[in-house]
Amino acid sequence: MYLVAIAWAYVALMMAAAEALSPQGTLFGAFITLLLYGVLPLGLLMYILGTPGRKRRRQAQELAAQADASGHAPTGSAQGLAAERKEA
């Protein structure tokens, strides 16, 4: 995930540098290029790709809050663990 973001940022930075150093280019154009081709798409990409991690953290916090409120550890199915059986 981060490799794509780093590569995208590098390309956007090079585009902005080419805009700034071009005889017809301006620093304002370079800033707009960096913003519209780099920062905004990268921010959106990182937000979308980070969604599963945020969801896992939220569920872990909810499980921890349930464990604190009840005084018991969460059951095995809530953590993805198989329930243990006692043999008679």
Q: What is the pLDDT of residues 28-80, one digit of tens each?
A: 999 999 999 999 999 999 999 899 999 999 999 999 888 887 766 655 555 55
CB atoms within 10 A of CB 17: 14
Domain regions of the chain by residue span:
2-68
Stated as kind and residue range, the H or E segment containing 55 is helix 51-70
Residue 84 pLDDT greater than 70, yes or no? no
Distance between CA atoms of 70 and 67, rounded to whole angstroms?
Answer: 5
Instruction: Tell me the backbone φ, ψ of residue 87, rounded to 5 degrees.
Output: -90, 140
Which pTM value belongs to this model? 0.63
